[in-house]
Chain A
Amino acid sequence: MPIACVAVPHFALRVAALERPDLDGAPLVLGPPPGARPLVADASPEAAARGIRPGQGLREVTALCPAAVVLPPHPLREAAASRRVADGLALLAPRVEADPDRPGFWYVDLAGSDRLLGPPPLAAERLLATVPPLLRPRAGVALGKFAARVAAGSAKAGAVRALSQEETLAFLADSRVSVLPVRPETVRRMERLGLRTLGDLAALPPAAVAARFGTEGRHLWELARGIDRDPVHPQPEPETVVEELEMPVPATSREMLLIGLARLAGRAFARPSLQDRHVRQARLRALLEGGGSWEQAATLRLPGGRQTVVEALGYRLADLLLPGPVERLTLELVGIVAPGGRQELLPGFRARRPRELVEAARRLKQRYGSSGLYMTVEVEPWSRIPERRLALIAYDL
C-alpha cells in the first residue's frame, strides 16, 4: 500500500514567509509562545547556517546574526494553512492525514490512485504541485508512513524521494535514530547504548530491544526494519461549534478577555446543537492587533457545560501576559456529547440572577431574535480613557 508523505519542514516559519514573501531567504527564527521562556523554538536553514539552534536564548540570536528575523508563533495562521494544504491534497486523493505530532507533515494513501494520478512517484509530484512553492514542500513515497516521512525528510525542496520495497530497508538503515517517533530522552538513551542508526537498531534481536525499551522498543525495532502497519487515518470532520467576538476596542486587559470569553460561551451554549449537551475540549483564540495570534486550549477531564468551559479557560488566562491588544476572540468547542450524571444545585443555593428576568430575556429573544436587554459591566474601571471603563453586553447569556 504506497503512501506519500508531503512535508514542509519548519512549517511555522514557511507559513510566515508565505504571508510575507519578502522574508523568503532571510534567516528566520520562531520565537516562543506568549508567557514561555525566551528560547528559539525553530530556526530556518538560513538561520541554522549562522549557528542559530532551537533551544538557544533569543539574546544569543541577536549576537549570532543581527539580521535574523524573530517571528512569534501564529497558531491561527498555521492551522488555517495546514487545513488549506490538506484540502488541496484531498482534491487528488481522498485519504489524507495531517500528522498530529508534526505540523507540516501530511500522509496520503495512494492505494487505488494509479489510474487517476499515475504510478506513486508521479502521483507524489502531482500532490506536491498543489502546495505553494514558497512553503518549500517535498515528498517521500514508501510502503509505510514512517519510511515515507523519513524519505520526505531527505528530499530537497520541490523533489520527491520514492523508495521501492527493496530500497526501503537499506535507506532506513542509514538514517539516524533521531528520526524515530519517540521522545528525545529515548533517542539519547539509544545513542548512549551505541545505537546511532536504524541499521544498528534493526540488527539487534527484537527481544533484546523489547527488554530494554519495553513494548515501545518492539514497535521501534519494527519501524527500523521497515515494518509499518499503521494506515493513513483520514481525519473525521469533528462536530464543532465556533463563535467569534469582535472586541469594541483592542483589549489589553485580562478582565476584558474574561468578559469576552463568558459572552462567547453563553452564545455557543445557546445554540440548538449545544442545547443540553456538553463538550470535551474548548479552544480560545485571539487575533492580535498587528496580525499575530494566540491560542489556549482546555481539554476537560469530564465533558462540561458553559460554566466549566469558562472556568477552565479563565484559569489558563490567569497568568497570561498578553503579547498585544486583542482585536477578535474565537471560541471553538469540540467533542460534543450528551451530559453524564449531573449534580443539581443543593437546596439553599440559588441562581444569582432573578429567574424571571432570565426567562423574560429568553422569550424576547425567541420572538424578536434579540432580547434587547443589556447590562452594564465594568471592563477597565481604572482606565484613564473614559470609554474603556464600562460597556454594555446583551442580557441573554
Chain B
Amino acid sequence: MVADPGAAPGTDRLRPLNGPRPVAVELAADGRPGAIVDRGRRLAVAAVRDRWLVEDEWWREPLGRRYLELLLVDGSVRTLYLDTFTDRWYAQAY
C-alpha cells in the first residue's frame, strides 16, 4: 500500500521522503510504456533503459513493484514503477 504523499507532515510524526507519486501511463502496442502523463504534461517515452523487480515484505503486506527507468523524448530520465498488486503506475526516484 502506498502512503499518501501529499499528507500534511504534522510535527509529531516522522515524514517519509521520496514517497511514490501516481502518474498515468499510456502503453504502446507491445505493452511497454509509450508515454507518461505527469502533472498535466504528456511526455513520450524514447527508450526503456533499465528494469528491475522489487518484491518484499511477504511476511505482512506483500509488496511488488516493477521498476522501469525511462528515457523520455525531451532527454530527461524518469523512474516509474507498476504496482503489481493494484496495476497502478507511480513515479519515484530510486
Bound-complex Cα distance A246 to B16 (A): 12
B17 with A390: CB separation less than 8 A? yes
Q: Interface size class for chain A?
A: 20 to 34
Expressed in whole angstroms, the minimum distance between the Cβ of B4 and any Cβ of chain A is 11
Nearest CB in chain B to that of A290: its residue: B60
**In chain A, what residue has the closest Cβ to B7?**
A248
Interface of chain A: mostly helix, strand, loop or mixed: mixed
Within 8 Å CB of B14, what residues of A? 245, 247-248, 256, 259-260, 263, 377, 379, 391-393
Secondary structure of the B contact surface, majority rule: loop
B76 within 8 A of A: no
Asked whether, in the complex, the Cβ of A248 is within 8 Å of the Cβ of B13, the reply is yes
Contact partner of A386 (CB less than 8 A), chosen from B11, B13, B60, B94, is: B94
Looking across the interface, which residue of chain B has its beta carbon closest to that of A390? B17
Chain A hits for B94, CB < 8 A: 386
Compute how far the CA of A248 lies from the CA of B9 in the bound complex, rounded to whole angstroms. 10
Q: Contacts of B17 on A, CB cut-off 8 Å?
A: 376, 387, 389-392
- Say how far B67's CB is from chain A's closest CB, in angstroms: 10
Asked if A384 lies at the interface with its beta carbon under 8 angstroms from chain B, I say: yes
Tell me how many residues of B have a C-beta within 8 Å of chain A.
Answer: 19
Give the distance in Å from the alpha carbon of A267 to the alpha carbon of B10 in the complex: 13
Nearest Cβ distance between residue B72 and chain A, in whole angstroms? Answer: 20
Known pairs A245-B13, A394-B11; A387 contacts B54 (CB<8 A): no
Closest to A395 in B: B11
Q: Is the CB of A396 within 8 A of B16?
A: no
- Is B15's beta carbon under 8 Å from chain A? yes
Question: Which A345-386 residues have a C-beta within 8 angstroms of B?
Answer: 370, 374, 376-377, 379, 384-386
Q: Which residues of A contact B48 (CB under 8 A)?
A: none
Task: Please name all residues of chain B whose beta carbon is closer than 8 Å to the beta carbon of A370 when the two chains form the complex.
Answer: 11
Within 8 A of A (CB), among B41-84: 54, 56, 60, 63
Interface residue? B12 (CB, 8 A): yes
Q: Are B13 and A249 touching (Cβ within 8 A)?
A: no
Q: Report whether A248 and B15 are in contact in the complex, using a CB–CB cutoff of 8 Å.
A: yes
Contacts of A393 in B (CB 8 A): 14-15
A248 and B12 in contact, given A325-B60, A386-B18, A392-B17 (Cβ under 8 angstroms): no
**Interchain CB contact under 8 A, B16 and A388:** yes
* Neighbouring B residues of A379 by C-beta, 8 Å: 14, 16
Q: Which 5 A-B pairs have the closest CB atoms?
A: A390-B17, A392-B15, A370-B11, A391-B14, A394-B11
Residues of A within 8 A of B (CB): 245-250, 256, 259-260, 263, 267, 289-290, 324-325, 370, 374, 376-377, 379, 384-394, 396
